[in-house]
Amino acid sequence: MHEDVLLNCLLGCKDAPDDNSHYISCKHLQSINKFLTGGTSEAPLIRWGLSEPTLHNLKVGCCTFSGYHAVKARLREQQTRLRKNTILDNPLIRVNWLKYAEAFSAEADELAISSRQFTVPSFLAFLLAGSPDSYSESNRLPRTANGIDALQCSPCLSQGAMPSQSQSSNTQT
């Protein structure tokens, strides 16, 4: 299918095209799926069910397809405002994460796969700490986790979505 507006990765990878060859190994997609389902293989061929296929991996692939196409449909509705080679900014990427997770979870319910409730603050905490339920220690950990610079979404942090360094140091005394 030919697109009038060429976009980068819909989930936030800079300088990565919006195409299948990228999404096979997209760190953002892998991290969101890992957050939602609790675990996915690091190996793309296993994760996508092409090697050592399991019913679970194939179902997750179906949920991924639904999530991606929900985000893509939303962006197509806004296509008049997008220009060629548009770079998606942080607020739009966060909206894409939410839309992706919403469609993924709806499909997961239909396929009887348990999935975790998605919020941007809990996902950012997961990226920082590697655990979806961990906020308190996240600001002490390295900026990158799972191959993603989680602080590239600094508008989330500045809007009070997660505790800042000064807030957490005051509460830990």
pLDDT digits (tens, 9 = 90+) for 110-157: 999 999 999 999 988 888 886 555 433 333 333 334 444 444 443 333
Overall pTM surpassing 0.85 (yes/no): no
- pLDDT value of position 102: 96
Report H helices in 5-89: 20-23, 27-37, 44-47, 55-77
Q: What is the pLDDT of residue 39?
A: 74
**Confidence (pLDDT) at 42:** 85
Distance of CA 57 to the CA centre of its chain: 17
Q: For the chain, list residues with pLDDT below 50.
A: 1, 134-173
Paired with 145 in beta bridges are: 148
